[in-house]
Amino acid sequence: MRTRPDAEHRYCGANAAPRRRGLLPLALLALALSASPLHAEEGSAQAVAAPAAVQPHTLEDFLRLDQVETLRLSPDGKHYATVVPFEDRSILSFVNRADGSTTGYVNPGEKAFIGEFFWVTNDRVLFSVEQKFGRDDTAYSTGEIFASNADGSGQQLLFGFRGEGERAHSRINRGRKERAWAELLDRLPNDPDKVLIRVVPWTDRTEPFARVDEMDIHSGRRSEVAKAPVPNALYVTDPDGVVRFASGYEADRRRQTYYRASQDADWELINNEAQSNRIVMPLGFSADGATAYLNVEDAAGGPDAIYAFDVASKEQTLALSSKSVDPDEILYSMSRRAVIGATFMEGKPVMRFFDKKSPDAIVYRSMAASFKGSHIRIGSATADGNEVIVYVSSDRSPGDYYLFNRQAKSADLIFSRSKWIDPRRTAEVRPIQLEARDGLALHGYLTLPPGTEARDLPLVIYPHGGPYNVQDYWEFDTDTQLLAAHGYAVLQVNFRGSGGYGRRHRNIGAREWGKAMQDDLTDATRWAVEQGIADGDRICIYGASYGGYAALMGAAKEPDLYQCAVGYIGVYDLQLMHRRGDIQTRRSGRSYLDEALGEEGLAAVSPVNLAEQIKAPVFLAAGGQDERAPVDHTEAMEKALKKAGVPVQTLIYPDEGHGFFVPEHRREFYTQLLAFFDQHIGAKAAAAEAP
């Protein structure tokens, strides 16, 4: 189950998705928001057919950063709160909806970015801050909670480690210092001046016990209201704001799920993965609180399903499922206080509801019908539920924000995330399915260059990172769109170990690095050639993190299949992975390494030891401050390739981490990447073969 940054979720997660950053003056934002809106049919990118001759977007188009990242409506509908990205920070801006004027803003400071934010009253917003620490291409939450009024006044650090005498952020008052990490869990419907926060203390214990505190949104005063009997607990509340579920794990990473009937009741264990051999995750409640919904792993290994949990009898009954995929995104009511269904990524997103005739389900279905071929996400809404922010995106569009009026039954375009991206000029992403050599069904996506047919194309195999419980989706992806705009078809495969296709698909990838997981990519490559999609003499493999490992392993294992390979922030020595990096800092991380890799036979599936088998030219890129895949991997791989006489070019930035953050570094990387592909499978390669 995943969350997305584009729609407001009732329950916040600790791991925010990476965000693209850009530059837009606040005055320009206010002017844009005050412009005359477009009707849904006029603003829908999918309503216009693609022209016969397509002029693809340029590298600079894809390097430009979003105008707006997230936009949310105040409960009374009078203000928008929106995140405006800059190169070295992002700004939380408040805009008067009536005249488009900026009423206030929050500037968190250099290398600081606005994370999750929520309207808690008509004029007060709580938000978190994400910091760039120099070790990754994205910023991470600091675990602090801040507040601001819609006019920019009352900016305050309510919770965090930079309280008391330490300087927090520009214009933000300091509160009491707390050696802990926190996130907003829920609002209290009967007390708008209070919220619930999940608090994870900094401790010498490797697996901390998280608790739930009630916090005043003005003073930051807190009191504990719940604490689970298991470490690393996530919590779920009922419609009244009472903590009813907790799910956590010990160092063995086996999840335990607890339930309690009321605020004062004892916790009751309803599932222990170590005993049941399946994971049960609470999702939320029905509007009346009589039913809770659980995401339950299929014990037989098939896709996960959603079960209804009767709180009176504690009986579980199947509520929603798919034959092929897990539930992907949870669908909430307009009030955000009830779960009403889920989206299933069956190639493309499909919405299913517990009651498809409910008023909220009708809104979702109406939006989906109005924006055919798009992915619909409903975010914030007014307190009466009449006006709703709808986020509309697709494989060809980064996304647009619409304001839907339920009474008038109209949707008006408010803002586009990247208005210079024309969906008529971007690439189509097609869901594909094939069979691995052992009969396993594999799903993935084929992105085609704009205006071309799927025939004899130069192809880039693009394995995702992770690799476990991560998957590729039908969505707008900057990397694949960039490659397609440059003339390359791109094939993404959810190989075994990937998430989204059930427990068995996830589990059979364990300890299969360089083995069956790699064979899945090989089988997909050969499938593309057999289908006539790819020119068998013009195929490269490129990936980041685990994808970088898979790229180099593919070049070593199938030296005649790929004409070049690119490893970006990759790991190439699996024995070194056990010794160096940030995964070993907790016992649960060491358990992960044992489950994912084991310790036997790692040298035989480490590309650093297989350089003599590689024939194709290689491009390596890495950051000197990378803690997840230390630069030692790249330097050792480069040395081994040179010793083996394999052509290799390397791009290392000492001040970058697990992915390039600095715009100039990103531009240089993509410039070299495209030139590398051009030389070996693109226009330059074709020109060289012509004589």
Query: In angstroms, what CA-CA distances link 637 with 514, 576, 618, 632, 650?
Result: 16, 12, 10, 8, 10
The mean pLDDT value for 234-261 works out to: 95
Q: What is the pLDDT of residue 237?
A: 98
Using pLDDT thresholds of 50, 70 and 90, give the confidence band for residue 400: very high
User: 315-323: long-range contacts (C-beta < 8 A, 24 or more apart)?
Assistant: 319/293, 319/354, 320/352, 320/354, 322/346, 322/350
Q: What is the pLDDT of residue 20?
A: 31
Query: Among 284-293, 361-370, 391-400, 579-588, which is the least confidently predicted range?
Result: 579-588
Cβ atoms of 625 and 654 closer than 8 Å: yes
Q: What is the pLDDT of residue 688?
A: 65
Annotate 115-135 with DSSP letters as a single string. EEEEE-SSSEEEEEEEE--SS
The mean pLDDT value for 604-620 works out to: 97
Interval 549-576: pLDDT, tens:
999 999 999 999 999 999 999 999 998 8
* Percentage of the residues of the chain whose pLDDT score is greater than 70: 87
The mean pLDDT value for 404-418 works out to: 92
Annotate 44-89 with DSSP letters as a single string. -GGGSPPPSS--PPPHHHHHS--S-S-EEE-TTSSEEEEEEE-SSB
Using pLDDT thresholds of 50, 70 and 90, give the confidence band for residue 12: very low
Tokens 């036979």 belong to 601
The mean pLDDT value for 283-298 works out to: 97
Q: What is the pLDDT of residue 520?
A: 98
pTM above 0.85, yes or no: yes
pLDDT beyond 60 at 402: yes
- Structural tokens at position 256: 């335990």
pLDDT beyond 90 at 49: no
Q: What is the pLDDT of residue 45?
A: 35
Output the CA torsion sign for 334, 337, 338, 339.
Answer: positive
Distance CA 680, CA 687 (A): 11
Distance CA 80, CA 93 (A): 8
Cβ atoms of 465 and 543 closer than 8 Å: yes
pLDDT beyond 70 at 52: no
3-state class (DSSP) for residue 684: helix
The mean pLDDT value for 619-633 works out to: 93
Using pLDDT thresholds of 50, 70 and 90, give the confidence band for residue 595: confident
The mean pLDDT value for 94-108 works out to: 95
Query: Among 18-27, 191-200, 249-258, 453-462, which is the least confidently predicted range?
Result: 18-27
Using pLDDT thresholds of 50, 70 and 90, give the confidence band for residue 36: very low
Q: What is the pLDDT of residue 44?
A: 34
- Structural tokens at position 601: 């036979």
Tokens 């003056």 belong to 25
| Run of H or E residues at 534 | strand 534-544
Output the CA torsion sign for 378, 381, 385, 386.
Answer: negative
Q: What is the pLDDT of residue 219?
A: 93
Which residues, other chains included, contact 452 with Cβ-Cβ below 8 Å and sequence gap of 6+? none
**Range with the largest mean pLDDT of 1-5, 132-136, 268-272, 377-381:** 268-272
3-state secondary structure 357-420: CCHHHHHHHHHHHHCCCCEEEEEEECCCCCEEEEEEECCCCCCEEEEEECCCCEEEEEEECCCC
- Mean model confidence pLDDT for the chain: 88
Q: What is the pLDDT of residue 596?
A: 79
pLDDT beyond 90 at 590: no
The mean pLDDT value for 123-131 works out to: 94
Apex 636 CA angle, 631 and 639, nearest 5:
130
Q: DSSP state, 92?
A: E
Q: What is the pLDDT of residue 174?
A: 55
Q: What is the pLDDT of residue 38?
A: 28
Using pLDDT thresholds of 50, 70 and 90, give the confidence band for residue 589: confident
Q: What is the pLDDT of residue 674?
A: 98
Q: What is the pLDDT of residue 687?
A: 66
Distance CA 570, CA 544 (A): 6
